[in-house]
Chains A and B, each alone.
Chain A
Amino acid sequence: GNSVTQMEGPVTLSEEAFLTINCTYTATGYPSLFWYVQYPGEGLQLLLKATKADDKGSNKGFEATYRKETTSFHLEKGSVQVSDSAVYFCALREYAGGTSYGKLTFGQGTILTVHP
């Protein structure tokens, strides 16, 4: 079955530091890849996505490139802010046949804490 593996956390950074959160996946076909962010006490919000190989998703200074050859979708940001402190989930969706269209498979989540 499909699976997503994220780097183990938590990650603690100082403001303006560079961020990388690694994500690799296993899928039978050609999934779409996503990064979701969860702020304390809130639901999951879509941060960015990529639907095919070599696509780059970007939003709010975050970027991730769909690398089919390494089955990876690493999240990066050049300069983090305190307000970026949250839990980040890598996820994939793949059509599995029949009516199994769109369930998300998530990674373990990475807690990011940014200090001033």
Chain B
Amino acid sequence: AAGVIQSPRHLIKEKRETATLKCYPIPRHDTVYWYQQGPGQDPQFLISFYEKMQSDKGSIPDRFSAQQFSDYHSELNMSSLELGDSALYFCASSSGQGISYEQYFGPGTRLTVT
């Protein structure tokens, strides 16, 4: 079965650079969630989209922006990168935005900022 695809899987950037992370949800899934997991930390919710509209926002820095496109894939844009942005970034998708819809997670993008 098709799963959530994230690209790239690994990314190394320097401070103050920009990074773009991509998420391709499971086919026919219309909802995307982004989470950030720092080293040894629990995943923290960043932002979510339903039908290409932002549906919820968590602890996402103003330096970050995201959107969901017409084909339902999503991109997380991160500017003025800081060392503290080094983390594993997960994308999850679901077939609806209600609580009863299970979130399926991608393998994550490991971002290292040097």
- List, in ascending order, chain A residues with CB within 8 A of B99's CB: 32, 51, 93-95, 101-102
Residue contact A46 to B45, C-beta cutoff 8 Å: no
Main secondary structure of the interface of A (DSSP, over half): loop
A7 CB to closest chain B CB, in angstroms? 13
Residue contact A104 to B103, C-beta cutoff 8 Å: yes
- B43 CB contact (under 8 Å) in A41, A46, A93, A104: A104
- List, in ascending order, chain B residues with CB within 8 A of A105's CB: 45
Q: At the interface with chain A, which of B11-19, B70-78, B79-87, B105-113?
A: B105-113
A window 26-69: CB within 8 A of B: 32, 36, 41-46, 51
B87 CB to closest chain A CB, in angstroms? 14
Quick one: closest A residue to B88, CB to CB?
Answer: A43
C-beta contact mask, A79-107 vs B, less than 8 Å → 1, else 0? 00000000001000111100111111111
Q: Which residues of B contact A (CB under 8 A)?
A: 4, 31, 33, 35, 41-45, 48, 50, 55-56, 58, 90, 92, 94, 97-103, 105-108
Q: Which residues of A contact B (CB under 8 A)?
A: 4, 32, 36, 41-46, 51, 89, 93-96, 99-109
